[in-house]
Amino acid sequence: MIKFGVIGYGYWGPNVVRNLDLLDGAQVLAVCDKSPTSRKRVQKSYPGVRVTSDAAEMMSSKDLDAIAVITPVWTHYELTKAALEHGKHVFVEKPFTSSTAQAEELINLAAKKNLKIMVDHTFLFTGAVKKIKQLLKEGTLGNLYYYDSTRVNLGLFQHDVNVIWDLAPHDLSIIDHLIAETPEAVVATGQTHLNGFEDVAFITLYFPNKIIAHINVNWLSPVKVRTTLIGGEKKMLVWNDLEADEKIKIYDKGIDVKNQEGLYNLLVNYRSGDMWSPQVDRFEALSHELAYFVDCITHDKVPFNDGPAGLRVVKMLEAADQSLRKRGALVYL
């Protein structure tokens, strides 16, 4: 039985507590939040759980095995460091840290102490991403050509980060997971309109083997869009995460080019066949992720969404920010 303390009971924290509470191998002993209202909500829903406003107190609790850090990104480094220093495993909200330097320090500290870090890249545990990963592994799409994600909606404006740090970690962690290559370089463009943080931004990632990824994030869209196009040599895929029933559609469509002599003798053949929408598991991703974390702790396994995975995403975010500052300069990784 892994005993958890959870720091942060705002928007996402209650989901972490609820899912841990339902797991057989886990138990939530304490929740920490600075807001009295949040602490009251904990007490009402979980009368048996300790509540506190003092993170330090929780860190030093002897009865806790692991800490879940569900707070704003600028607090991740400090809280995770303190937890590791007190010998606790850490489940930390994405993005992992505010800088690569912080991430590297935490990874080293965890290694030295033989503790687990899991970064909450929840999307990797959804039925949709699992299915896409499987299709790529099995070679269904053939060699990958491009990954193009649109993630736009109205708000929520963040007080401390721009739209890239708010929305792009989802896509970057999925891209890191699916493409499983290190990008060569990043280009980001965008604009601020309201509060000094970019609210519209576009990121291009150049990968080896001519794979290109693009992410469109926007806090000022009148409609919510969560659509990703993935083009491969053999097949192409559309993932619409807002569809209730047909999230993934695989198209037997493509283009074959035969080089012939001379420019105008190029032969282009279009293939256009059936479309197929595989059933996608509909469980709560966070529940599977937390069960996996408990399993990694219990059986001393390295989670695939560990500190280094979190670091890779932070590296891309940092590079995107650098590029954005220079209005689209190419930043090598």
**Site residues (CB under 8 A) for a copy of itself, limited to 108-147:** 145-146
Tell me the C-alpha distance between 249 and 101, whole Å. 40
CA-nearest of 43, 42, 35 to 14 is 42
Near a copy of itself in 145-184, by CB under 8 A:
145-146, 148, 150, 152, 154-155, 157, 159-160
Candidate list 138, 263, 299, 300; residue touching a copy of itself; CB under 8 A: 263
**For residue 150, which amino acid is it?**
T
**106, 80 Cβ separation under 8 angstroms:** yes
Nearer Cβ to a copy of itself (61/221): 221
Tell me the C-alpha distance between 238 and 132, whole Å. 10
Candidate list 173, 216, 228, 305; residue touching a copy of itself; CB under 8 A: 216
Count residues contacting a copy of itself (CB under 8 A)? 72
**305, 121 Cβ separation under 8 angstroms:** yes
Say whether residue 223 binds a copy of itself (CB under 8 A): yes
Say whether residue 29 binds a copy of itself (CB under 8 A): no
Say whether residue 78 binds a copy of itself (CB under 8 A): no
Near a copy of itself in 182-201, by CB under 8 A:
185, 187, 189-195, 199-200
Tell me the C-alpha distance between 21 and 127, whole Å. 22
Near a copy of itself in 271-330, by CB under 8 A:
272-279, 323, 326-330
Provide the 8-state DSSP code for 33.
-
Nearer Cβ to a copy of itself (109/329): 329
Instruction: Report, in Å, the least distance between residue 164 CB and a copy of itself.
Output: 14
Candidate list 101, 180, 266, 302; residue touching a copy of itself; CB under 8 A: 266
Say whether residue 333 binds a copy of itself (CB under 8 A): no
Say if residue 86 is exposed, middle or buried (CB neighbours under 10 Å; 0-12, 13-18, 19+): middle
Residues in contact with a copy of itself, shown as a per-residue x/- string from 32 to 61 under the rule CB under 8 A: ---------------x--------------
Instruction: Report, in Å, the least distance between residue 242 CB and a copy of itself.
Output: 8
CB neighbour burial string for 228-262, b if at least 16 within 10 angstroms, e if fewer:
bebbbeebbbbbebebeeebbebbeebeeeeeeee
Nearer Cβ to a copy of itself (119/178): 178
Cis peptide before 156 (omega within 30 of 0): yes
